[in-house]
A and B are shown apart, each in its own frame.
Chain A
Amino acid sequence: MSIAQVKRIAISDSPWPWLLPLVALLVVFTVYPLIYNIWLSFHEFVPKQRVLKYVGMANWIQLVNDGRFWGALGVTFLYFFIALTVEIILGMSVAMLLDAELPGFAALRAILSMTLVIPPAIAGMMFLLMEDSQFGVLSYFLGQLGLLDKSTPILGTSSLALLGVLVAEIWQWTPFMVLIFMAGLRSLPAEPYEAASIDGASSFQMFRRLTLPMMSRVIAVAVLLRGIDLFRVFDYVFVMTSGGPGTATYTVSLYAWQQTFSFLKWGYGATLSLTSLVIVMVMANLFIRVAKVRW
């Protein structure tokens, strides 16, 4: 290409000179890793010879037969559904409570946004301290309410550990829902509600027939963005339980990471991470189609 040609493209109305840096970065940092990951999933690291050996479909066959993977997938989905359900319901309730011009409510909305800037790893540490059975303030409160025995460590008990992690998750991300829903509530028109109250509708009917339908797009966007992040949960389980006790809190992301970096199963780790990628992509794109979310 001559300089004149380059110049002509640069001053023309073509969008590509503007998009080129973005495309280059995205290709180098998402498409290339993706291809590399696929290649890696057909290989495995041999520690003794320090080489990657071609193993064909072995990693994928192992994946299908790996009980720990299916367990981790189950934990991830359980985490996903519990967190999403609680965050939506709690978020909507708090948003409706705070959607009023009452003394100090503007300050309350600002305070709520504070949880969003805390690194999730540090939020996990906060709850690790508060859920400690020896001196944790949350364990103490629950004990006072008669909900928890002092000798039961929340994060050290298989049946409770995931709930213990979920408390941190829900605490940090319910405000995300609250802020989004509150913005949605504020943009609702007043007329339908006036008409409905003249017709004698109850407030529950108004919520079901007016608020929910008019808020559907807002809810869909919030669910999509939170859902994407929920499915790849890593930080909380890594700092709070490292997957334990046993495998009670193993998520797919954590399992993939540990296979790669703790057990040096580079190929299998890549296989696991690819699987989680495929699941997120399929679920998110299905959701975008069904809920008709558009950017």
Chain B
Amino acid sequence: MHQSKLVRTVRTIAGWLVVGAFFFPIYFWTSVAFRDSKDIFNWPPIIFNFQPTMRNFEQVFGISFGFARQDAVAPGGGNFYMAPRLWDSIVVASMSTVLAITVATFASYALSRMNFRGRHQFVNWVLSTRMMPPVAVAIPMFFIFKQFNLLDTYIGVILIHGLMNLPLAVLLLKSFFDDIPAEIDESALLDGASRWTIFRRVVLPMAKGGIAATAVLCFIFSWTEFLFVLTLTQTGLKTVPVVSSTFVTSIGTAWGNMAALGAAAIVPAFFVVLLVQRHLVRGLTMGSLKQ
């Protein structure tokens, strides 16, 4: 359809304004991370015109960027020393991703390539586990973990996050495997290759891109998860979303520190998600819609 120049201009401006409105909270939050409290607690609120400072990052991560005075960082890294929590998040997200992807690639290959009775029902069962409310898993898991001494351990959280991502990983990888023509498998089978050889030598290399995209999405969902970590950990480890709530104290909320930690957790995720833009919709719809 041909649109006049005026319509195109208006539409361009409208598009930028709408997306600008969605971007504003991200900008604002990130800017709070670089503010002193007088620039946070001002009325009317300051939007652009604040004095940038690295102090929040220095306090949260216990390092000095040399912009503020050295004593701005309390001994031992300040009250809110959060670098280990960032590490917890990284360990949990990456290990649970490895777990989910490993288990899911095998299952998805079978679901994509082998005909067996009840395959459709099996796929539906996997999908239905995605419907379970986290709270209905977290409550019994708390007691089960307690019995097996898994509360407050990396292994416990990694297991539960891996499990949480399994339905997504299985269905998404199945859709990527479905893209690879089945004739390739069949001709290899006729040549006497085993399923295992085909899986390892043919299908896996061809699905590399899809597996990487699935892994990125699993990583992000583990990175952003809140309820399981809140329920199943105490002091041993905490991921970033949960630990953010500790900035809310009885004498007020340390917004600057919280924003600094939040920004440090979010900004890397933005760049990661850019890597999978091409597969993002497929991932968000668990492989149901292909772009």
**Which residue numbers of A lie inside 8 Å of B, CB to CB?**
11, 13-15, 18-19, 21-22, 25-26, 29-30, 32-34, 36-37, 40, 94, 97-98, 100, 102-105, 108-123, 125-127, 129-130, 134-137, 140, 171, 174-176, 179-180, 182-184, 186, 193, 197, 218, 221-222, 225, 228, 231-232, 234-235, 238-239, 253, 256-257, 260-261, 266, 269-270, 273-274, 276-277, 280-281, 284-285, 293, 295
Known: A102-B15, A119-B226, A121-B245. A129 touches B255 (CB 8 A): yes
In the complex, A7→B123 CA distance in Å?
26
Find residues 236-291 in chain B having any chain A CB closer than 8 Å to their own CB.
240-242, 244-245, 253, 255, 258-259, 262, 265-266, 269-270, 272-274, 277, 280-281, 284-289, 291
Q: How far is the CB of A140 from chain B (nearest CB, A)?
A: 5
Known: A97-B15, A221-B289, A281-B128. A135 touches B277 (CB 8 A): no
Candidates A109, A122, A135, A184; contact of B40 at CB < 8 Å: A135
- In the complex, 7 of the A-B residue pairs with CB atoms within 8 angstroms, ordered by the A residue number, are A21-B103, A36-B140, A100-B8, A100-B15, A118-B266, A126-B28, A234-B227
Q: Are A25 and B284 in contact (CB under 8 A)?
A: no
15 extra interchain contacts, Cβ-Cβ under 8 A, other than A100-B8, A222-B285, A239-B244?
A11-B194, A21-B106, A29-B163, A33-B144, A102-B15, A117-B272, A121-B244, A125-B258, A137-B45, A171-B22, A184-B289, A193-B1, A225-B285, A235-B227, A270-B140
Known: A121-B226, A221-B285, A269-B139. A18 touches B127 (CB 8 A): no
Known: A108-B19, A113-B273, A113-B280. A25 touches B1 (CB 8 A): no
A33, A176, A239 interface centre (most CB from chain B within 10 Å): A33
In the complex, A270→B160 CA distance in Å?
18
Tell me which residues across on chain B come within 8 A of A14, comparing CB atoms.
Answer: 114, 116
B109 CB-CB contact with A under 8 Å: yes
Nearest chain-B residue to A274 (Cβ)? Answer: B136
Nearest chain-A residue to B261 (Cβ)? Answer: A122
Q: Are B255 and A117 in contact (CB under 8 A)?
A: no
Tell me which residues across on chain B come within 8 A of A276, comparing CB atoms.
Answer: 133, 135-136
Candidates A100, A122, A273, A293; contact of B136 at CB < 8 Å: A273
In the complex, A193→B148 CA distance in Å?
61
Known: A37-B139, A114-B23. A19 touches B110 (CB 8 A): yes
B107 CB-CB contact with A under 8 Å: yes
Q: Are B281 and A183 in contact (CB under 8 A)?
A: yes
B47 CB-CB contact with A under 8 Å: yes
Tell me which residues across on chain B come within 8 A of A175, comparing CB atoms.
Answer: 22
Nearest chain-A residue to B240 (Cβ)? Answer: A119
Q: Are B45 and A122 in contact (CB under 8 A)?
A: no
Find residues 134-158 in chain B having any chain A CB closer than 8 Å to their own CB.
134-144
In the complex, A5→B137 CA distance in Å?
37
Nearest chain-A residue to B29 (Cβ)? Answer: A126
In the complex, A274→B138 CA distance in Å?
11
Find residues 153-191 in chain B having any chain A CB closer than 8 Å to their own CB.
159-160, 162-163, 166, 170-171
Q: Are B273 and A114 in contact (CB under 8 A)?
A: yes
In the complex, A33→B138 CA distance in Å?
9
In the complex, A102→B16 CA distance in Å?
10
Nearest chain-A residue to B116 (Cβ)? Answer: A15
Q: Are A122 and B244 in contact (CB under 8 A)?
A: yes
B87 CB-CB contact with A under 8 Å: no
Q: Are B139 and A29 in contact (CB under 8 A)?
A: no
Known: A19-B106, A234-B226. A119 touches B265 (CB 8 A): yes
Q: Are B126 and A26 in contact (CB under 8 A)?
A: yes
The 7 closest A-B pairs by CB, nearest first: A18-B110, A119-B241, A119-B224, A232-B133, A15-B110, A33-B140, A22-B107
Q: Are A36 and B143 in contact (CB under 8 A)?
A: yes
Q: Are A171 and B130 in contact (CB under 8 A)?
A: no
B131 CB-CB contact with A under 8 Å: yes
Q: Are B285 and A104 in contact (CB under 8 A)?
A: no
Candidates B26, B227, B286; contact of A114 at CB < 8 Å: B26
Known: A22-B107, A171-B25, A232-B135. A117 touches B18 (CB 8 A): no
Tell me which residues across on chain B come within 8 A of A140, comparing CB atoms.
Answer: 43-45
Q: Are A135 and B43 in contact (CB under 8 A)?
A: yes
